[in-house]
Chain A
């Protein structure tokens, strides 16, 4: 009951923040047949030179590391509130 209450408040807050984000459609240059797709398709022809698949995999991995780092830092900031006046995660 307590956990449900706390989670409910947190989730509602997160949803409220997300609802503030724009919810329009993507621009034409990003959609199917757009400029970016054309560039990407052309770049795909250079697959013999550039390991695109490895590149995107590493990029995703780095982004995941960034998300993990953010969560770690957030956790440290929250924990620092309970150190009786000591410490800072900033």
Chain B
């Protein structure tokens, strides 16, 4: 008995466990990744090796290159001989990726290599990074798949002449970018004021100018010491018939006010009368940097943080401020256009170099050969240096030839692998075609028509409470019209509710046991769960 009870409890516990497990979604923060690219210079396949730290910017609209990125070249024994990748020379970065749904996204950035302490006439070592390559705007960010670098051959001598390197690409797997949720104003609006103003011009005896000021009082916990600060944002301008008032800045947040309706201006020349007549009757406040980002669906209405002046329902009118799920920064396609403010423009929040960049410098190999630009006129030293230069050039040529041979062999191997792949991998659309063939054959059978009829029959509403109609004519012509099991109201409805709950529990438990037994049978396991006396 106890074992059976334990099984029932375990079976019931499975339901919430499965539901909880399926509802969990993993979120990985954007992290640094180290990538390596090896630019090929004419005649020198492995002339350079560039190591870079990359990570998505917090807005996922760009890829950040850490300042510790380094390019290192083969020993450079002759100034003016191999200058690609040297500090001061230029390069180009190309970033390609997927903006969602197969839509491509690209970004390009050019830069100049910086100095590195290990750079000398013997070794090319230079730094780059500290910039970001824009790939947006895309609402879901740009999932970067490939990063390429091209070195400009500013003073490249030797066989290749003065020309840039071939683009060296790194296929990267940074995962899908995560768009960091922006900070919300975790506070509330506790006051909105419309303040009438009049102004008397100097030298005039009449009041000619009038305007309204808007003041919004915010409780905000973004203070430096974590305490609650009170902000008062205000905007004053002359308006009598204008319907909008935009560009009110709070310093770190920009609010946009919209007067949905103003009063009717009078024909009076009295400014005070105009002022009184033009009192706004409705006021909307937008926080445009808090437009909710829900993938491809945007809902600007969620940004109305206060909709009525004076607030008819103070507790319900300010939800946009205090609900973090509604406060995501706005990226991507421009949704609304307020010409007098940039508050409706897509934002970027991570253009400054991140501070958590890991050390990315590769092991810099130095060659301890005394450079020949010491200024000393020593003919023997010059002769030895020239001789050494010739020997090393010959070694480089031999190494280059061996590597070229290796590259050719690798090319043959690649071709063989491609052929094998073509031999085994079916063409695009082949599987869909085969599946369609089976489906068409199946849908022509009687069995499918049975399934179709049952599906049509059961797809309607089956939650009625009117019971089963019973219409009888008894002896003597007495007609009986009853509805057996009708339980729409009253005591019967209560009883039916309890019975329904019990039957529901029974169906769930029995179904769980049945699934365990059936799936277990597939593995050759015959569990006794749900059976009677097998325990």
A32 to B243, CA, bound (A): 60
A:1-45 near B, CB below 8 Å? 1-4, 7-8, 11, 14-15, 18-19, 21-26, 30-32, 36-37, 40, 42-45
- Are B514 and A45 in contact (CB-based, < 8 A)? no
Contact among A49, A55, A56, A62 for B487, CB-based, below 8 A: A49
Instruction: Evaluate contact between A65 and B519: CB separation under 8 angstroms.
Output: yes
Q: How far is the CA of A58 from the CA of B444 in the complex (A)?
A: 27
Out of B423, B460, B499, B524, which one reaches A44, CB within 8 Å? Answer: B460
User: Which residues in A have their C-beta under 8 angstroms from that of B437?
Assistant: 11, 15
Q: Are the C-beta atoms of B514 and A54 separated by less than 8 Å?
A: no
Are B425 and A3 within 8 A (Cβ)? Answer: yes
Residues from 394 to 451 in B contacting A, C-beta threshold 8 Å: 422-427, 430-431, 434, 437-438, 441-442, 444-447, 449-450
- Judging by beta carbons under 8 Å apart, are A48 and B487 in contact? yes
B488 within 8 A of A: yes
**B349 at interface, CB cutoff 8 A:** no
- Bound CA span A31–B446, Å: 13
Q: Which of A32, A47, A70 contacts B465 (CB 8 A)?
A: A47
Q: How far is the CB of A71 from chain B (nearest CB, A)?
A: 8
Q: Return the chain A residue nearest B483 by Cβ.
A: A45
| A72 CB, nearest partner CB in chain B, Å | 3
Is B485 close to A, CB under 8 A?
A: yes
* B511 and A62 within 8 A (CB): yes
Residues of B within 8 A of A30 (CB): 450, 453-454
Instruction: State the CA gap A58–B503 with chains docked (Å).
Output: 12
Spell out B's residues near A (CB within 8 Å): 422-427, 430-431, 434, 437-438, 441-442, 444-447, 449-450, 453-454, 456-458, 460-469, 483, 485-488, 493, 496-497, 499-500, 503-504, 507-508, 510-511, 514-515, 518-519, 521-524
Interface residues of A (CB under 8 A from B): 1-4, 7-8, 11, 14-15, 18-19, 21-26, 30-32, 36-37, 40, 42-56, 58, 61-62, 65-66, 68-73, 76, 89
* Interchain Cβ contacts under 8 Å between A and B, 21 examples: A7-B430, A18-B438, A21-B445, A22-B446, A26-B449, A45-B464, A45-B468, A47-B464, A48-B485, A48-B487, A48-B488, A48-B500, A49-B503, A54-B504, A55-B507, A58-B508, A58-B511, A68-B519, A70-B522, A71-B522, A76-B523
